């Protein structure tokens, strides 16, 4: 691998070698280990994000590797562990079962009506918990070897096991959450580990001292109430309020710095691609008009690094099953990898 790296030309044609960006690293030589979680069992609108990791991988090899913030960032070593096909197969199976539950609820009927669907719900929740446990084990093993870790979903339920693994290492960390949705629903549609419940489940971890959410624009009354009653533990930057500030003349840099000031020293970034303007992610599971430009999101991360805070991990979720979505998703993954490495220096 060392010889391969010596011979590697970062300006050359991206090699299709099964690794992100065609980089010449394996598990042992890479600093950043990326786990794919092709799971979207509980999605309630558009499907396809389970194929997001594959789309990101396919698009990644055509990216140029020069990064304006971290030109040599690729040298840290980035390695994507093979996309687990067994999880993808289980996803396809349980997704069909979950559709029965979603359809029943959409009809305004109880799950206990004949045929009783509550056993199916229990089975799905158990399967989701098994995926969480698998990811927890994989991430903890990598962390114990001194690796940095990132996760590519799948829907936004994907990274919970990783958040739990980080909680065994860090007694106090914050989450910077880019999303159109707050994801603070308690067991949405009965699914304990719903994509709409990831942050509800995350804040159950006492180690997560702060959750700062940016770009929210599709939110329920209960979620707003939870934010308002969190005593400052959850801070929301709603997209309409952000836009109003911009229209009134506040600069984006000022807003970014205000956002960052809420966060502790150690920060995890959870990036739901639908936090962006849907022109950038038209095939995501639940697109919402409005949102951030890509460079606006990168500006927040840049200010995070400039503040001296450390990025301890990240996920990129809800990337749609299409070439353009994979292209944008790959750019987000690469940028976050380089920002994380920069922040750790």
Tens digit of pLDDT for each residue in 167-189? 999 999 999 999 999 999 997 77
Q: How many other β-carbons are positioned within 10 Å of the β-carbon of residue 105? A: 15
Please state, as a whole number, how many other Cβ atoms lie within 10 Å of the Cβ of residue 280.
23
Six-digit token string for 317: 């979720």
Token output for 51: 């194929």
Q: Tell me how far apart the alpha carbons of residues 8 and 23 are, in angstroms, rounded to a whole number.
A: 8
Q: Which CATH number does the domain housing residue 270 bear?
A: 3.40.800.10
Could you tell me where the DSSP H helices lie in the chain? 2-7, 52-60, 85-106, 118-144, 160-166, 198-202, 221-228, 239-247, 252-261, 294-306, 323-344
Per residue in 27-66, pLDDT (tens digit) is: 999 999 999 999 998 887 778 899 999 999 999 999 999 9
For the chain, the average pLDDT equals 94
**Is residue 193 within 8 Å of 160, Cβ to Cβ?**
yes
Beta carbons of 236 and 275 less than 8 angstroms apart: no
DSSP state of 81: P
pTM of the model: 0.95
Calculate the dihedral angle through the C-alpha atoms of 129, 133, 139, 144, rounding to the nearest 10 degrees.
150
**pLDDT at site 4:** 61
Rounded Cα distance between 345 and 336, Å, is 15
| Under-70 pLDDT residues of the chain | 1-4
Give me the pLDDT at residue 69, please.
97
Instruction: State the Cα–Cα distance between residues 56 and 53, nearest whole angstrom.
Output: 5
Query: What distance in Å separates the CA atoms of residue 149 and residue 162, rounded to the nearest whole number?
Result: 8
- The residue segments making up the domain with residue 329 are 2-344
Tell me how many domains the chain contains. 1
- Nearest CA among 287, 335, 283 for reference residue 314: 335
In this prediction, residue 185 carries a pLDDT of 94
Closest C-alpha to 218, from 235, 242, 239: 239
């Amino acid at each position: 691998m060392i010889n391969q790296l010596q011979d590697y030309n970062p300006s050359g044609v991206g090699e299709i070698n099964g690794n992100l960006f065609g980089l010449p690293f394996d598990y042992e030589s890479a600093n950043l280990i990326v786990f794919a979680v092709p799971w979207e069992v509980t999605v309630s609108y558009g499907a396809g994000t389970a194929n997001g990791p594959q789309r990101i991988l396919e698009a990644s090899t055509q990216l140029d590797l020069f990064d304006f913030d971290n030109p040599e960032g690729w040298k840290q070593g980035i390695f994507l562990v093979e996309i687990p096909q067994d999880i993808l197969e289980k996803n396809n199976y349980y997704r069909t079962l979950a559709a029965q539950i979603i359809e029943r609820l959409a009809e305004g009927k109880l799950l206990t009506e004949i045929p009783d669907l509550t056993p199916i719900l229990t089975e799905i929740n158990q399967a989701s918990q098994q995926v969480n446990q698998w990811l927890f084990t994989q991430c903890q093993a990598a962390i114990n070897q001194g690796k940095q870790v990132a996760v590519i979903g799948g829907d936004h339920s994907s990274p919970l096991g990783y958040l739990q693994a980080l909680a065994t290492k860090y007694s106090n960390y914050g989450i910077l959450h880019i999303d159109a949705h707050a994801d603070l629903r308690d067991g949405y549609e009965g699914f304990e580990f719903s994509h709409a419940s990831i942050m509800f489940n995350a804040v159950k971890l006492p180690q997560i001292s702060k959750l700062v959410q940016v770009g929210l624009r599709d939110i329920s009354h209960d979620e707003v109430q939870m934010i308002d009653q969190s005593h400052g533990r959850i801070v929301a930057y709603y997209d309409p309020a952000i836009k109003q500030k911009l229209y009134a003349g506040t600069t984006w840099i000022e807003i970014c710095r205000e956002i960052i000031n809420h966060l502790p020293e150690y920060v995890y970034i959870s990036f739901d691609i639908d936090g962006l303007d849907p022109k950038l992610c038209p095939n995501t599971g639940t697109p919402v008009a409005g949102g951030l430009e890509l460079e606006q999101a990168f500006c927040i991360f840049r200010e995070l690094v400039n503040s001296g805070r450390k990025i301890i991990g990240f996920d990129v979720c809800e990337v749609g099953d299409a070439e353009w979505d994979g292209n944008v998703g790959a750019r987000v993954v690469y940028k976050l990898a380089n920002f994380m490495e920069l922040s750790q220096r």
